[in-house]
């Protein structure tokens, strides 16, 4: 089996364009050369990757599998090139970390600031994703390690506790619940809610809690960030359940109250996950050790 990155690039271009001719034009290559490369690729695998027709091409099942891997290989090749270039300019390494929104907003700014001050020759690439995607990305080596909101069930992953994340009910100070020291979710579930994206970890937690109460959340509006949710709550559109530390800076600005939730699920454990069968490279190990060594704020 022989192929190079140009083969991968052309195959992805054809898959995206749905046509060899259009892909060739976009790649500044003649169509016959693109077609020959793809035919050689299929011959080397001994299976068809494309179904060719008068209106263009369609991927076979093998083609879909190859496309997914080809994209990842090109991404990793780009990351490798970037990292080696950083080494040549004095950078000692790059660490790729995927984390949930809660971890990024609440804990990582201070932790990363301390680490990068001690290690100016290390670069950290940080991306926000939901826990399920993070665990899969770590398993597939798209990230060195990840921070998730629940224990992943994938094989070949090890986990260690990272931080605890407390959820609170956020409401305008004029709201009747704002006069209470704490609240049960069952007493608030009937209210109109401001929610986050349907794929967020927090949405899954709240949807499950509502179902256990025999209800569905009355989601008036969805937003993409904690500060946007606070702004919507301040406008009287509903209440929200959000991480306590993440929304603390916004309470005074939006004149909001934070009410403790007595349900056990309101205190979530965050975990660091990493591949158990492969050692982390030195820069990633240093960052992981730093995250573990810094004590959790009281």
Q: What is the pLDDT of residue 90?
A: 45
- Residue in 20, 47, 58, 25 with CA at minimum distance from that of residue 36: 20
Q: What is the pLDDT of residue 189?
A: 94
- Per residue in 94-116, pLDDT (tens digit) is 899 999 999 999 999 999 999 99
When pLDDT is averaged across residues 277-293 and rounded to a whole number, the result is 91
Q: Which residue has the higher pLDDT, 22 or 86?
A: 22
Q: How many CB atoms sit inside 10 A of residue 172's CB?
A: 16
Residue 146 has pLDDT above 70, yes or no: yes
Residue 135 has pLDDT above 80, yes or no: yes
- Per residue in 188-208, pLDDT (tens digit) is 999 999 998 877 778 888 999
When pLDDT is averaged across residues 62-81 and rounded to a whole number, the result is 85
- Per residue in 159-192, pLDDT (tens digit) is 999 999 999 999 999 999 999 999 999 999 999 9
When pLDDT is averaged across residues 237-250 and rounded to a whole number, the result is 94
When pLDDT is averaged across residues 147-160 and rounded to a whole number, the result is 80
Residue 145 has pLDDT above 80, yes or no: yes
Q: How many CB atoms sit inside 10 A of residue 3's CB?
A: 16
When pLDDT is averaged across residues 79-100 and rounded to a whole number, the result is 73
- Structural domains of the chain, ranges and CATH numbers in brackets: 5-81 (1.10.10.10), 91-163+269-293 (3.40.190.10), 165-268 (3.40.190.10)
The overall average pLDDT reported for the chain is 89
Distance of CA 16 to the CA centre of its chain: 24
Residue 88 has pLDDT above 60, yes or no: no
């Amino acid at each position: 089996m022989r192929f190079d990155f140009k083969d991968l690039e052309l195959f992805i271009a054809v898959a995206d364009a749905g046509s060899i001719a259009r892909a060739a034009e976009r790649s500044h290559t003649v169509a016959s050369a693109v077609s020959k490369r793809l035919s050689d690729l299929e011959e080397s695998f001994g299976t068809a990757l494309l179904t060719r027709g008068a209106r263009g091409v369609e991927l076979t099942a093998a083609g879909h599998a190859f496309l997914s891997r080809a994209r990842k290989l090109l991404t990793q090749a780009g990351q490798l090139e970037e990292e080696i270039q950083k080494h040549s300019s004095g950078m000692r390494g790059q660490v790729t970390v995927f984390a949930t929104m809660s971890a990024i907003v609440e804990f990582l700014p201070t932790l990363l600031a301390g680490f990068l001050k001690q290690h100016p020759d290390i670069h950290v690439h940080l991306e926000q994703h939901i826990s399920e995607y993070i665990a899969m990305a770590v398993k597939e080596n798209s990230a060195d390690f990840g921070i998730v909101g629940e224990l992943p069930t994938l094989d070949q992953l090890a986990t260690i506790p990272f931080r605890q994340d407390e959820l609170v009910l956020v409401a305008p100070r004029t709201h009747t619940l704002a006069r209470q020291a704490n609240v049960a979710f069952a007493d608030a579930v009937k209210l109109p809610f401001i929610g986050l994206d349907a794929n967020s970890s927090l949405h899954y937690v709240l949807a499950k809690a509502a179902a256990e109460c025999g209800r569905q959340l009355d989601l008036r509006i969805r937003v993409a960030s904690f500060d946007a949710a606070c702004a919507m709550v301040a406008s009287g559109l509903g209440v929200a359940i959000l991480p306590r530390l993440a929304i603390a800076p916004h309470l005074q600005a939006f004149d909001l109250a934070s009410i403790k939730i007595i349900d056990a699920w309101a205190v979530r454990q965050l975990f660091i996950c990493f591949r158990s069968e492969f050692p982390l490279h030195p820069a990633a190990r240093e960052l992981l050790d730093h995250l573990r060594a810094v004590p959790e704020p009281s």
